[in-house]
Structure 1
Amino acid sequence: MTAVQSALPPGADPRAHTRLLAQVRAAALAGGTPPAAPRPVIGASWRRLRGSGLDPSCTPDVAPLDGAELERRRAESGLAPLLPVLRERLLPVARDAGQVLVVGDAACRVLWREGGAEVRRRADRLGFVEGSCWDEDVVGTNAIGTSVVVRASLQVHAAEHYAEGHQPWTCAAAPLRDPVTGRVLGVVDLSGPASTVHPSTIALVDAVAALAGQALQRAHTGHVERLRSLAAPILARLTGPALVVGVDGCTAAATGLAAPDRVALPEEVHSGAVWVPALGRCTVEPLPGGWLLRPCDPADGDRPAGLVLDLAGPRPQVQVTGASGSWRAGLSLRHAEILLALARHPAGRSAAALAADLFGDPTRTVTVRAEVSRLRRTLGSVLLTQPYRVDEDVAVEVLLPAPAARLLPASTAPLVQRLRCG
């Protein structure tokens, strides 16, 4: 189970701590000196929101999704298979504690909300309904939206909420992750009146989110095994290199080449010619639950020409362009940090220099080498070694968020912290 921090300090009296949080929020948001520092994750969120101009005295009014759009998002979220384990483990707790169980998507839209009648009526008055939006950018610091921003489990209590109208509530949320790609699929949350706060709630929610991840991992393993059985007779009939991958890029079977465990596919895969940095040009054919990839002989000039590192959107992405077209994929936080460091230093970085950029510790070269090796399996010839650098023939562009304080919010890398401060 991931180590998580409760919003209540050990041994703290909930009512006294709630009063202290109100004093801290009032002073901090007014630009004064608070009687105690807010938790770092809360203080960082408040700074992002103050920089964006969101008014903490107003409770944002965002219209919920209509019924048809809500059903569409439920179907596309991939979260429905997790509902049985989430309900079994958390719904009894929610009912006993006078809270609601909420499951949202990666855009922080509430897809499902369940709990006792009284707390649901109170949530209705807050606008905390199915289809409502709890993105941090839109409604301020809250467990659902801020946990997705920082990619970690989070409890937000009372006046830790940015919006004044949310202070009567307490909430504890954990991201729901794809166990293969690490991508955040959504979020699970327990919320209720501030008087229902309990220090163990966040640990429980975090543990159940981990159980849900294990259920996804078992389902993924079964899918790969079925795809492997399907692939065997297909690959046996082929000449030349080929591999069969799932829709998430995980390799089920291969012939004629040393295939990686997972291929970073373009976000939109289609039949025909597709360029994948780790493999080059490939011919793609659809299979039930996956794709057949057949690498082609490299064409003249079929080399990457441009790389865009997009850090301005809700999640880091990289786009690589070449003569055969373009390719886009999501990045983990660590890989985004590495590419940012290399973009800032076109001449290249040693493992020690990268370790200082990422960890503030130049001795952590083993970790850096392992992460760059994983990234090179995604980007192929775009990344060079000795020193680590982007190929000098590839034009690099970095898209940064505005304000700079929103750059990779979950990152603690010294390089990122410097850039946030301008």
Structure 2
Amino acid sequence: MDATSTLDLAAISALDAGNAARLLKGVRDATLSGHRPPVRPRQLIGESWGRMLQGGVDPDHDIRSRLLSLEELEERRRASPLLDILPVLREGLVSVADAAHHIMVVCDVDGRVLWREGNAAVLRSADSLGFELGADWNESVVGTNGIGTPLVVRRPLHVFSAEHFVQTHHAWTCAGAPVTDPRDGRLIGVVDVSGPITTMHPATLALVNSVAKLGEARLRDLHLTALERLRAVASPVLARIGGRAVAVDTHGWTAAVTGMLPTDRVPLPKSLAAGTPWLPSLGRCRVEPLPGGWLLRLDDGARDGGTGSPAATRVVLDVSGARSWSVTVASGAGCWTHELSPRHAELLYLLATHRRTGRTASDLSEDMFGDPGRTVTVRAELSRVRRYLGGLIAHRPYRFHEDVEVEVRTPELPLDLLPHSTAPAVRRARGGAAPPDSAGS
């Protein structure tokens, strides 16, 4: 390999642990000192190192934040959706981790260690690194690692030896996979298998990711069971109602309807309470609580309420966070906020930064995938976006409506913009180039 080559996990795995560690140390040392490395780091690793350098993380000293108290730890455990899938994670990983001289670590969305189990000797060694219950393994605190970095990039990642940004972690190998709540697409945590560098195996990441997917499948089963319970409660209520109404769970998934065509999910604002709010896809509704969800009674005096949006005056697209993004709409009907999926955050950012010209499906396909031919995917995602933004998004080309004021809130450092995104246009923006129409946003 030479300086024009890029490392991959297969190339690292082909070396014995000692040689791989030495190669990666040379790559890291050269990169951090501003010199040309003997071979380029893997892209996700290199981008993470860039974030660490801009964020001021010390590559030579181990900095630790305060541990959670026992009370705080127990409170987070009880509140975490990960508690429901802990048996699945244990069954799939703990025995394998113990035999392979690894430990399994489960962290919440903030990177806090909630559970850890596995080989007793490795657990004692982890204590010396601060890899203990209640510890903060956020990327911005401890640098590139197999917990904090998968939380940022939202994909499985194996971090080996000197790919860790902080040198005190170089004796370790970590493979982590993010876990997403299938009810709303929210990132809820990460499961990781870690151990000494001599225990690295290229199949570890595939195993961890497979078990994380099994955990998500378990959450999906629990969700379907909860919907059935809500349907049993809501059906007699709906049978007595005249007009149009729908029963949904707290995430907007439909349990039962009357007087209207069913839809899989009703987009709900970030916070919903009993009253008469305007909802993006239904118009004015009367909202009443049900056990495990809401009853939404549509205003039949305005039957076209679900076909568009009331006159909006302002849209705020907030993509300043590392792991959560939102769109807030202020209109004559009030103000509501909707949390965005990673893909929708990318699409709305691209539309907001091309206010003057808009983007065709082919343009967005090029922006998102580097391939102008993937228009079917783009149109499908924008159709979902328009379910909650309604008439705020025009088409032919796709763009925010010209009468709407749009504000885009981005991170202070360009490198922190949507760090999960692999979209070529977003990566260019992370490189510091001004978006084409940013002045008009």
Same fold (TM over 0.5): yes
Cα distance in 2 for partners of 1:67, 1:242 equals 45
Q: Deviations over 1:355-407 (max 9, x none)?
A: 22222222222111111111111222222222212222221111111210111
- Structure 2 letter corresponding to 1:405: L
Paired residue for 1:309?
317
**Contact 2:155–2:178 (CA under 8 A) maintained in structure 1:** yes
- Structure 1 letter corresponding to 2:425: L
Of the structure 1 ranges 162-171 and 315-324, higher mean CA displacement relative to structure 2 is found in 315-324
Q: CA deviation at 1:7?
A: 6.9
- Structure 2 letter corresponding to 1:309: L
Q: Which of 336, 351, 359 in structure 2 is aligned with 1:349?
A: 359
- Structure 1 letter corresponding to 2:336: W
- Structure 1 letter corresponding to 2:320: A
Q: Deviations over 1:234-283 (max 9, x none)?
A: 11111222111111111111122334311222222211123322222322
**Contact 2:27–2:41 (CA under 8 A) maintained in structure 1:** yes
Q: Structure 1: 5+ residue runs without aligned partners? A: none
- Structure 2 letter corresponding to 1:363: G
Paired residue for 1:72?
75
**Contact 2:64–2:141 (CA under 8 A) maintained in structure 1:** no
| 1:147 equivalenced with 2:155 (yes/no) | no
Paired residue for 1:375?
385
Paired residue for 2:418?
408
**Contact 1:6–1:202 (CA under 8 A) maintained in structure 2:** no
Cα distance in 1 for partners of 2:24, 2:281 equals 50
**Contact 1:277–1:381 (CA under 8 A) maintained in structure 2:** no
Q: The residue matched to 2:382 in structure 1 has which SS?
A: helix
Q: The residue matched to 2:276 in structure 1 has which SS?
A: strand
Cα distance in 1 for partners of 2:278, 2:80 equals 27
| 1:325 equivalenced with 2:334 (yes/no) | yes
Q: The residue matched to 1:212 in structure 2 has which SS?
A: helix
Task: State the aligned residue count.
Answer: 417
Q: CA deviation at 1:180?
A: 3.1
Q: CA deviation at 1:6?
A: 4.1
Q: CA deviation at 1:209?
A: 0.6
Q: Which runs of 4+ in 1 moved over 3 A?
A: 5-10
Q: Which of 194, 198, 204 in structure 2 is aligned with 1:195?
A: 198
**Contact 1:100–1:191 (CA under 8 A) maintained in structure 2:** yes
Q: Which of 88, 99, 103 in structure 2 is aligned with 1:100?
A: 103
Q: CA deviation at 1:10?
A: 4.8
Q: The residue matched to 2:388 in structure 1 has which SS?
A: helix
RMSD: 1.8
- Structure 1 letter corresponding to 2:314: G
Q: CA deviation at 1:117?
A: 2.5
Paired residue for 1:25?
28
**Contact 2:161–2:169 (CA under 8 A) maintained in structure 1:** yes
Paired residue for 1:274?
277
**Contact 1:8–1:199 (CA under 8 A) maintained in structure 2:** no
Cα distance in 2 for partners of 1:380, 1:261 equals 17
Q: The residue matched to 1:218 in structure 2 has which SS?
A: helix
Paired residue for 1:264?
267
Q: CA deviation at 1:8?
A: 5.8
Provide the TM-score with structure 1 as the length reference: 0.94
Q: The residue matched to 2:363 in structure 1 has which SS?
A: helix
Q: Deviations over 1:94-117 (max 9, x none)?
A: 111222111111111111111232
Cα distance in 2 for partners of 1:17, 1:188 equals 24
Cα distance in 2 for partners of 1:69, 1:336 equals 32
Provide the TM-score with structure 2 as the length reference: 0.90
Q: CA deviation at 1:165?
A: 1.4
Q: CA deviation at 1:187?
A: 0.7
Cα distance in 2 for partners of 1:7, 1:118 equals 28
- Structure 2 letter corresponding to 1:304: A
Q: Deviations over 1:117-147 (max 9, x none)?
A: 2211111111111111111112110010100
Q: Structure 2: 5+ residue runs without aligned partners? A: 1-7, 433-441
Sequence identity (%): 50
Q: Which of 394, 406, 426 in structure 2 is aligned with 1:396?
A: 406
Q: Which of 236, 241, 256 in structure 1 is aligned with 2:239?
A: 236
